[in-house]
Copies of this chain bind each other. A is one copy, B any other.
Amino acid sequence: MSTNLYGAIEAGGTKFICGVGSGPNDIGDKVRIPTTTPQETLSACIDFFKNESKKKTLAGIGVSCFGPLDLNTNSPSYGSITKTPKAGWSDINVRKIIETALDIPVAIDTDVNGAAIAEHLWGAAQDVNNILYITIGTGIGGGMLVNGKPIHGLIHPEMGHFRPLRHPKDTFEGLCSFHKGCFEGLASGPAVKARWNGEPRNLPADHIAWEIESHYIAEALATFICILSPQRIIIGGGIMNRDFIFPMLRKKTLEKLNGYVVSNHLLKEIDSYIIPQGLEGDAGLLGGIALAKSLDIANQ
């Protein structure tokens, strides 16, 4: 390829953002497209890139996408959204539709795997290869890189849907439509809002909401550490914008592990082990660019 310019799509349940660039601080043209029907939304994405392609050559396009996705490259439906509650989007092959329309190689992965790769390439985890990225916002998801590559497998991780040990004072049932009290059902933004009948951003720092929230996040982190042994944990998402929450959940994570996992990164340097995301602003689009770049690297 004679270009290092890539297209990126941050494909979410409420909006698709398309952009062109090669890394942080150089995202050029961007467009925001509401998520309506696949026909309407994907056509608008395709129009954007057709127009961009007249101005410059794109080496590939990366789609950092809401899931669940079929990521099995041997599957006939590789690159599809599989079964989603989002009306009209089940079984839509986002990757194939875009690749066919534009005749440009298209990479697709979960939004959290895209974010993990972007943090590895340009953000807060450039020096390690086994990286966990978690987002705690409207939903909860996790992406894990092992030896620098995202975990796929049966499908891909769905880290928001395991069931954490409950906080003894929490009587809220949980609002996941599949599992009630899974991690997402108990600790996502909408769960906090429903439990306390108010916006999380308006709950004061000393509200028991944060004791309970940090309990669930710390249960999740202790669980992820036992199962995945990441070299660094990066947490993004709206809930993490409160500056007191990282110290709370670091302390609780250590309490829950109780000295069992012996590593100085955890025991002595936890402030640089469990950290906020390093990329800001266009982080979502950078996930897409990172995916497109991985495709390019894999093809070289």
Contacts and interface: CB of A to CB of B under 8 A. Distances in A.
Contact of A179 (B68, B260, B263): B260
Nearest to A178: B260
A258 B163 CA distance: 12
Contacts of A157: 226-229
A225 interface: yes
A283 B204 CA distance: 56
Band of interface residues on A: 35 or more
28 contacts: A130-B154, A146-B146, A146-B147, A146-B149, A151-B228, A151-B229, A152-B229, A153-B228, A153-B230, A154-B225, A154-B229, A154-B230, A155-B229, A157-B228, A158-B226, A158-B260, A158-B261, A160-B226, A161-B257, A161-B261, A163-B256, A165-B166, A178-B259, A178-B260, A179-B256, A179-B260, A227-B227, A227-B228
A7 interface: no
Given A130-B153, A262-B82, A226 B162 contact: yes
A186 to B, nearest CB: 11
A224 B156 CA distance: 12
Copies in the complex: 2
A229 B156 contact: yes
A178 B254 CA distance: 12
Interface string A225-258: 1111111000000000000000000000000111
A149 B147 contact: yes
A154 B260 contact: no
Interface string A109-152: 00000000000000000000010000000000010101101011
B142 A227 contact: yes
B227 A223 contact: yes
A99 B279 CA distance: 44
A213 interface: no
